[in-house]
Chain A
Amino acid sequence: MIEVKYFGAVAEKTKCEFEKLSFSEELSLQKLLQDLNEKYEFESLTFSVAVNQKIVSKASDYTLQTTDIVALLPPFAGG
């Protein structure tokens, strides 16, 4: 199980602030993001991605570990 956290406008799309996902095969970060995008249709939303509190490249082929926490952080604009 990995945990995925959603913030701001991304959480509006997912309608939850976090979820736990299980996966059987090896899963890369890039593939996880593709799957989430298909599931939630983020479309024009921009966000940065963190793994274990560290912002990483979205194109990373990093293989997710079961204890990883992924976060999707869109920029905010209010003030």
Chain B
Amino acid sequence: MKESTRYNRQTILPEIGGDGQQKISKSKVLVIGAGGLGASILPYLAGAGVGEIGIVDDDVIDVSNLHRQVIYETSAVGKSKAEEAKLMISELNPEIKVSAFSEKLSGKNAISLFEKYDIIVDATDNISIKYLINDACLVTNKPMVYGSIFRFQGQVSVFNYQNGPTYRCLYPDENLNALNCEDAGVIGVSVGIIGMFQANEVLKMILGIGEVLSGKILVYNTLKNEQQKYDFDRSDFQTISREAFEEKYNKCVIEEVSFDSVLDEINNDAVLFLDVRNIDESPKIALNNQIQIPLMNVEKEIEKLNKNQKIYVFCQSGIRSKMAVELLQKHQFENVKSIAGGVLAMKKLLQEIKI
């Protein structure tokens, strides 16, 4: 069989065998970040035959990435990292399923993405995303394979593995100051080495062999070839419920503005004033760039609105307009604000300035 030839050199290892290969081909791994770490993790997982690989990255390839993100070609500069990485590893191993998600990981998509995979690999270069990955792993009960770099040093650990300690148990203070590669500088081999350690942990977990770096952080110094492991414990204060996750990452912030602060925009065609009162409500307001969709119809008639337009929503007193803003935000409208006090506040001001 063609397949067994492909994996022959690893299946002849007594620790893997045919059963181990079955486990690998049934496994599903999501890699967040297709940068330096991802470029070393992805081809090895694909080569080993991980059955399903997801790649999340909203970035495009820059020529300054190529010295370390060695899976990309110079001709791919400007193209999506997730899509290009998918092409590369699908070519390497057409027998696996690869999905590219060219989007930014956020509180909105993290949980639904993580639910589809068994193991989540953090190959990002951003501390706040690491906390998000950690928290979404806790909510979905998935292990998180952490790796990161500071110049010639790297860290590797596996969090939330079989109820083991998490990123927050190691780093409870959510300080976002640590330098990434763009600011601190890095050489390709350093990220390659750390990415390889991460891919190794992924395969160990899938196969159930060796000792997983759970409750331990490995610190590697590439200049001295020194490595040390530090133990850490699980802290029960560092768990997070689904409700707390939603509260932290997905709480709608409804922005209110006063009408006088937006007065100079009433003749700006790039801006839309949206009246969500019912048709029969008065007093009437007639601004040039205004439309009326009663609140109960907003969802139904949402295609009348442009997601990228700046929209000021108003109603009679400023309550329904806030509900409309929340509704529009749920439909990915990002630039919507509610006018505080509604028409009652607007009318007064419009009379004063005689519009």
Residues of A in contact with B (beta carbons under 8 Å apart): 7-9, 44-46, 48, 50, 53-55, 71, 73-79
Cβ-defined contact, B125 with A79, below 8 A: yes
- Judge whether B178 and A76 touch: CB under 8 Å: yes
B321 CB contacts on chain A under 8 angstroms: none
Residue among A50, A75, A77, A78 making CB contact with B230, cutoff 8 Å: A50
- In the complex, whether B20 has a CB less than 8 A from a CB of chain A is no
In the bound complex, do residue B173 and residue A46 qualify as a contact, i.e. CB atoms below 8 Å apart? yes
Nearest A residue to B177 via CB reads A44
Known pairs A77-B127, A79-B36; A53 contacts B178 (CB<8 A): no
Apart from the given pairs A8-B178, A73-B155, A77-B178, 6 other A-B contacts in the complex at a CB distance below 8 Å: A44-B175, A45-B177, A46-B173, A73-B219, A76-B150, A77-B179
Give chain B's interface residues, CB within 8 Å of chain A.
33, 35-38, 123-127, 130, 147-151, 153-155, 170-171, 173, 175, 177-181, 184, 186, 191, 217, 219, 228-233
Knowing A7-B153, A78-B149, A78-B180 are in contact, say whether A54-B232 is a contact too (CB < 8 A). Answer: yes
Of chain A, the residue at the smallest CB distance from B174 is A46
Residues on the A chain within 8 Å of B153, using CB: 7-8, 76
Does B175 contact A78, Cβ atoms closer than 8 Å? no
Which residues on the B side are within 8 Å of A76 (C-beta)? Answer: 148-150, 153-155, 178
The residue in B35, B150, B186, B231 that gathers the most chain A C-beta atoms within 10 A of its C-beta is B150
Q: In the complex the two chains form, is B180's CB within 8 Å of A77's CB?
A: yes
**Could you tell me the distance between the alpha carbons of A48 and B231 in the complex, rounded to whole angstroms?**
11
The listed residue (B147, B170, B219, B231) touching A7 by CB distance below 8 A is B219
Q: A9-B179, A48-B171 are in contact. Are A78 and B127 (CB under 8 A)?
A: no
* Chain A residues within an 8 Å CB radius of B150: 7-9, 74, 76-78
Q: Is the CB of B175 within 8 A of A77?
A: no
How far apart are A8's CB and chain B's nearest CB, in angstroms? Answer: 4
Complex interface: chain A residues within 8 A of B232 (CB): 48, 54-55
Cα-based distance from A7 to B150 in the complex (angstroms): 9
Give 25 A-B contacts (CB < 8 Å), ordered by A residue: A7-B150, A7-B219, A8-B150, A8-B153, A9-B150, A44-B175, A45-B177, A46-B178, A48-B232, A54-B231, A71-B230, A74-B150, A75-B170, A76-B148, A77-B126, A78-B148, A78-B151, A78-B179, A78-B180, A78-B184, A78-B186, A78-B191, A79-B33, A79-B36, A79-B147
